[in-house]
Amino acid sequence: MFNGKTVLITGGTGSFGKKFCAKVLQEYPNINRLIVFSRDELKQYEMAQQFNHHPKLRFFIGDVRDKERLYRAMDGVNYVVHAAALKQVPAAEYNPIEAIKTNVGGAENVINAAIDRGVKKVIALSTDKACNPINLYGATKLCSDKLFIAGNSYAGSKETRFAVVRYGNVVGSRGSVVPFFLSCRDKGKLPITDPRMTRFWITLEQGVDFVLKNFERMQGGELFVPKIPSMNIMDLAKAIAPDCETEIVGIRPGEKLHEYMISVDDARNTVEYDDYYVIQPSFVWWDQEHYLATNGGRRVPEGFYYSSDNNDRWLTVEELRSIIRRDLVGQTYSLWPSVHR
């Protein structure tokens, strides 16, 4: 799919971006160019070193808030992954306008630049916090999701198509609870918000694979949700630091007890497949029955919702330990197939 093509990823120096670039460069040796678009020159320099100055890799310093810079960066680009975002929940609560400028205004800029530059396909990364959001970060990402889905109508006669991928917490990503708990082990105590708390979990490898597969699947307008396992926060603590004490500190502002990826209201337009769901758009021109017939999916039942506590796939303590060990040594791993409690 990417052979002979040019691909751009916004926020490309992040955890997802690095894994995405490594995967694409390995699997598509005949790619024309892979462009990393991000704000931090130091991170770009370090990433160039890590990739041994790969001849197909390009680095563009820029901010998604800067529409003109995006127009320049997308010249000749065929595919775009939009991973740039301000994603720290407390920081977004304290700096709401900044989060809106990046997560909402930046999404608008990516959409307009992609359409006007003739990009073929764009996939934007979302989060489980965008489903029934209770914090500003989740609200901005829900708004971003809506913008990218509507981008298919904005494209008019142009061929640019947009889709969204939504998934849960990424094991080992920067700022997530796994590296935080690892850093707390030497102190002998782990802060626990609420012992009932559950979260969805996905590995970087799976997140990248899911995005790549959806570039092939997408028609434009879909919101793709993978079927991934959940884990209870106490099991997470046991997996990372079994000898540590735990201290209940209470749920932080803007935090949920359980996360959702598909709400009851979204379920009316949701189609289920073996390993993922698709929330279909409500476009006048979108033929849901034709989509079902040609893609082999099935409608979810009335009243369906997909949350981290009603999941039928659960990650065990040993499975998470295995993932962390493999992640630390850079090996591949899989927790995808039928992980049950």
CATH of the domain at 212: 3.40.50.720
What is the per-residue pLDDT across 244-288, written as a single tens digit (0 to 9) for each? 999 999 988 888 999 999 999 999 999 999 999 999 999 988 998
Quote the pLDDT of residue 336: 37
- Cα 2 to chain centroid, rounded: 20
Whether residue 331 is predicted with pLDDT greater than 60 in this model: the reply is: no
Q: Angle at Cα 254 formed by Cα 251 and Cα 257, nearest 5°?
A: 45
188 within some domain: no
What does the pLDDT average to over 219-231? Answer: 97
279 within some domain: yes
192 within some domain: no
Domain total in the chain: 1
Question: Is residue 129 annotated as a catalytic residue, yes or no?
Answer: yes
175 within some domain: no
340 within some domain: no
Tokens of 236: 């997470």
Whether residue 156 is predicted with pLDDT greater than 50 in this model: the reply is: yes
Average pLDDT, the chain: 92
Structural domain range at position 118? 6-168+201-227+260-307
Point out the least confidently predicted range of 113-122, 165-174, 308-317: 165-174
Quote the pLDDT of residue 163: 98
Whether residue 329 is predicted with pLDDT greater than 60 in this model: the reply is: no
Quote the pLDDT of residue 327: 67
195 within some domain: no
Residue 297 pLDDT class (50, 70, 90 cuts)? very high
Quote the pLDDT of residue 185: 83
Q: 321 exposed, middle or buried (CB, 10 Å; 0-12, 13-18, 19+)?
A: middle
**SS in 3 state form for the chain?**
CCECCEEEEECCCCHHHHHHHHHHHHHCCCECEEEEEECCHHHHHHHHHHCCCCCCEEEEECCCCCHHHHHHHCCCCCEEEECCCCCCHHHHHHCHHHHHHHHHHHHHHHHHHHHHCCCCEEEEECCHHHCCCCCHHHHHHHHHHHHHHHHHHHCCCCCCEEEEECCCEECCCCCCHHHHHHHHHHHCEEEECCCCCEEEEECHHHHHHHHHHHHHHCCCCCEEEECCCEEEHHHHHHHHCCCCEEEECCCCCCCCCCCEEECCCHHHHEEECCCEEEECCCCCCCCHHHHHHHHCCEECCCCCCEECCCCCCECCHHHHHHHHHHHHCCCCCCCCCCCCC
What is the per-residue pLDDT across 183-198, written as a single tens digit (0 to 9) for each? 888 888 899 999 999 9
215 within some domain: yes
Give the percent of the chain with pLDDT over 70: 95
Residue 242 to residues 122, 131, 335, Cα–Cα distance (Å)? 42, 32, 21
Whether residue 328 is predicted with pLDDT greater than 60 in this model: the reply is: no
Quote the pLDDT of residue 81: 98
Q: Residue 80: which residues within 8 A CB-CB, separation 6 or more?
A: 7, 8, 9, 10, 74, 110, 114, 119, 121, 122, 123
Whether residue 334 is predicted with pLDDT greater than 80 in this model: the reply is: no
Quote the pLDDT of residue 325: 79
Cα–Cα distance, 204 to 339 (Å, whole number): 17
Who has greater pLDDT, 44 or 330? 44
Among 19, 87, 129, 141, the one annotated catalytic: 129
1 within some domain: no
Whether residue 339 is predicted with pLDDT greater than 70 in this model: the reply is: no
Quote the pLDDT of residue 213: 97
